[in-house]
Amino acid sequence: MKNFRLLAPLALLTSAFLSVSVARAEEQTAAPIFLRSTETDTKLSAIQTGAIEFRPTGGKGPSIWLVSVAHLGTPEYYQAIQKRLDAMTVVLFEGVGLAEQVKQGPGNMDRDSGIQKQLSDALGLTFQLDAIDYRRANFVNSDLPVEGVKKEVQERAATTGDETKTNETFNMLMQAIQGSGQAADMLKPMLAFLTSSPEMRETTRLMLIEILARAEEMLAFVKGVSPEMKDMFEVLLTERNAIVMRDLRAQLARLKSGQSIAIFYGAAHMPELAKHLSKEFNYTPGEAQWDTAFTADPKKSTIQPAQVRLMLDMLRAQLQNADAH
């Protein structure tokens, strides 16, 4: 595909941090929303994640909370989420290859060089794995192992004839997350530039908020024009969600009314999980509780939110034109 090299960095940025299914505060719809950009009372731009309680329509059975999370945020953000999770009977948590590592406790896992950790440090934020304590007795890893994800990606790619490019894309994503290989070499100087001064740091925060607020649109476009991206994201989202649903059924079989299950995953996974809860389990969503992951001050930034949005519109148009030719 002609614009593959342009699409890969865009997909890496959005997928590495959480993802899709985003709406601005004023764009609420009937479907549950788990991620939004908004403006605080003090005129700061903010990115927020939602936690929604689902209750059985028939009235019998435990409640199910979909607790979405950003992979970087303030210490206060993670403290609020930890408090919510600690109140649950069971927490099914996201973590490819984390079943053993999380037993070491926050800040001790071998992922210090990954892009998520690098960016959180550079922006004065906290990385999720350095903040959430997964050693709680009620926490249960509910995810594919690394090799399982790779196998699913390869099998799906083999059926569509995009095996080579899909594997390249998957390896690039894994390298970025782990801080190794060509992806790390490409991202390190970019991160250094984006956080080279207090003004640039605030600008990068603002840009990240606006990019995340467009993630659904951008990734939908990427998947539409790139078969290899489509293969990869279907595994990273749909196949892993299937594991969560399997584990959820097992928990529902043993828990009772008055107890609770939290599914603690990135916001990208939540819309599909919400559909499963409504259609297959006959659960009804309630109101969302919002937590602010981090903010940015447009007055301290070298660029304004409207300018960032214009730039993203231009980028999308360029990608469409490049693919057409």
325 confidence band (pLDDT: 50, 70, 90) = low
Q: How confident is the model at residue 27, as a pLDDT?
A: 40
Structure token pair of residue 125 = 């934020």
Mean pLDDT of 16-33: 47
Q: Which pLDDT band, with edges at 50, 70 and 90, does 3 fall under?
A: very low
User: For residue 254, is pLDDT > 90?
Assistant: yes
Q: Is the pTM of this model over 0.75?
A: yes
The pLDDT of residue 58 is above 90: no
The whole-number average pLDDT for the span 192-196 is 78
Residue 245 identity (one-letter amino acid): M
pLDDT exceeds cutoff 60 at 248:
yes
Encoding tokens for residue 265? 């995953």
Is pLDDT of 282 > 80? yes
The secondary element (H helix, E strand) that includes residue 48 is strand 45-56
pLDDT at 293 over 90: yes
Crossing angle of the two packed helices 4-17 and 115-122, in degrees rounded to 10:
70
Question: What is the pairing mode between strands 260-266 and 63-69?
Answer: parallel
How far CA 322 is from CA of 54, 225, 253, 318, 325, in Å, comes to 43, 11, 51, 6, 5
Mean pLDDT of the chain: 79
CA distance 245 to 243: 5
pLDDT greater at residue 256 or residue 310: 256
Average pLDDT over residues 162-174: 65
pLDDT > 80? residue 245: yes
Summarised one tens digit per residue, pLDDT across range 147-159 is 766 776 677 666 6
Q: What is the mean pLDDT of residues 242-256?
A: 95
Q: Average pLDDT for residues 9-15, to the nearest whole number?
A: 47
Q: Name, in order, each residue with C-beta under 8 angstroms of 171's C-beta and a sequence gap of 6 or more.
A: 181
Residues 6+ apart with CB under 8 A from 221: 316, 319, 320
pLDDT for 26 beyond 50: no
- pLDDT given for residue 2 in this prediction: 38
Q: Which residue has the higher pLDDT, 71 or 109?
A: 71
> Using alpha carbons only, what angle is made at residue 65 by residues 247 and 263, rounded to the nearest 5 degrees?
40
| pLDDT value for 261 | 98
Q: How confident is the model at residue 161 (pLDDT cuts 50, 70, 90)?
A: low
pLDDT value for 28: 39
In sequence order, the 6+-apart residues with CB closer than 8 A to the CB of 28 are none
Residue 74 is predicted with a pLDDT of: 96
* High-pLDDT (> 90) share of the chain, %: 35
Q: What is the DSSP letter of 103?
A: G
Among 22-26, 41-45, 147-151, 166-170, the range scoring the smallest mean pLDDT is 22-26
pLDDT at 306: 85
CB 88 within 8 A of CB 261: yes
Continuous H helices in 18-109: 75-86
